[in-house]
Amino acid sequence: MEFRMEHDSMGEVRVPADRLWGAQTQRSHDNFPIGRGKETMPEEIIRAFAVLKQAAAVCNHALRPERMTREKLDAIRAAAGEILDGYHDAEFPLVVWQTGSGTQTNMNVNEVIANRGNQIAGKKLLHPNDDVNMSQSSNDTFPTAMHIAAAEILSRRVIPSLQKLIHAMARKETEFAGLLKCGRTHLQDAVPILFSQEISGWRASLERDLSMLEASLPGLSLLALGGTAVGTGLNAPTGFDEKVAEEISRLTGMSFSSDPNKYHALTSLDEMVFAHGALKAAAMDLMKIANDIRWLGSGPRTGLGELILPENEPGSSIMPGKVNPTQCEQVTMVAARILGNDTTVSFAASQGNFELNVFLPVTAYSFLQSARLFSESTESFTDRCFSGLQAREDRMRENVEKSLMTVTGLSPLVGYENAAKIAQKAHRENLTLKQAALSLGLMTEEEFDRSFHPEKMV
């Protein structure tokens, strides 16, 4: 392999000749061989950095044209645009497990843009610190990139995937309208319920989760950029923070604004905790729903067997014909991962020591992994499981008829204790509720037939 010499404030460093990164990226690559190739900085963060570098250059040109010339602006825009188009993904090798401020990833982006910009210009035009990082610090750029990436993935992937499942549930409510089934509490038989009512409970849970996710977006729209090193805005021109937020909004097509308190923006992760909490809530509801569905589909002959799940692949390497609720299982595993990530994000937020939080890369990594997994898992579950659910009406009807808890409808007529006697006798002697009530002499056949209507109990 051929190398070239690059230098930074600490001296010279050998860098592979065919790479666009520079000395600081190489130092980080050498000093943090942790999760290399597997746990690199998420691509959403790199692209958010490319957006903010474009925006910063535009605003620096407007506010400091003598330093950010039109030629420099054009070179930065072009290089950052190529990053956004995915041409230089291999130029961002740094792992999450680096400095807690994300300084080395900021410099990785600065160096790639500078070196690629110089190639485009055909001369030594850009310096990674003086030009690409003008009016910025790693301390305000990384929180900004993190908010941009989080807001974008929630708006463009997570929320649409949740809306898709909600709509699928609404369709199933219509499809299964009027279908009576046994309700269950404590994993035991309870009074009847319409299957559409049960689905409506699932749907309402996800709708509440959706509203909480949407409520997290305004906090993520506040950007730290312009606070520079400690929130004072040192070395950034007046008005840079508001102007750059406007430009980021224009570039992304989303609404962002400058955080009015940069001291808060650099040291607090409360917006990330709030947003991830909403994501966790949705994941926990999906775990509950997936578990309900696989319980209701258990069997098919010796379980509840009330639902038929789509059969996507063989379920066993030894038992022929076995099919498992695999989409439900992936949902529950994803939910477990998101729950773990929530602990990481929450703990990271407690580490905002003095003027800077130094758990930024792991926060971004955990949040974006959760969001990515959630959206992909939900899409798959909707397409490969929920939309294809079928109800076994005969099994549902049979279970309602066998259920002892329909005796609850008789309580107003015979009293709670007598109704309990009917249920207990029926259970002990394997009788129907009608047979037990008549045997105990608590009701006549005419009274029972007139009063016992499970379908009216919903």
Residues involved in catalysis: 186, 316
Dist CA 41 CA 453 (whole Å): 61
On whether the CB atoms of residues 154 and 220 are closer than 8 A, the answer is: yes
- Phi/psi at 373 (5° precision): -65, -40
Give Cβ neighbours of residue 132 (< 8 Å, ≥ 6 apart).
53, 57, 76, 109, 110, 113, 114, 117, 126
77-101 exposure pattern, b = at least 16 Cβ within 10 A, e = fewer: bbbbebbbeeebeebbbbbbebbbb
C-alpha 146, offset from chain centre: 14
Give Cβ neighbours of residue 318 (< 8 Å, ≥ 6 apart).
none
Preceding omega of 218 cis (within 30 degrees of 0): no
Q: What is the token pair recorded at 172?
A: 């199933």
Side chain identity, residue 349: A
DSSP string, 358-425: S-HHHHHHHHHHHHHHHHHHHHHHHHHTGGG-EE-HHHHHHHHHH-GGGGGGGHHHH-HHHHHHHHHH
Using the structure block, give the residue that is written with the tokens 């063989």: 314
Pairing, β 390-391 against β 352-353: unpaired
Region label for 430, one of left (φ > 0), alpha (ψ between -120 and 50) or beta (otherwise)? left
Dist CA 349 CA 404 (whole Å): 51
Q: Find, among 214, 247, 233, the residue nearest to 61 by Cα.
A: 247
Dist CA 381 CA 292 (whole Å): 14
DSSP string, 122-189: TSS---IIIIITTT--HHHHHHHHHHHHHHHHIIIIIHHHHHHHHHHHHHHHHHTTT-EEEEEETTEE
Dist CA 247 CA 161 (whole Å): 28
Q: Is 222 helix (H, G, I), strand (E, B) or coil?
A: strand
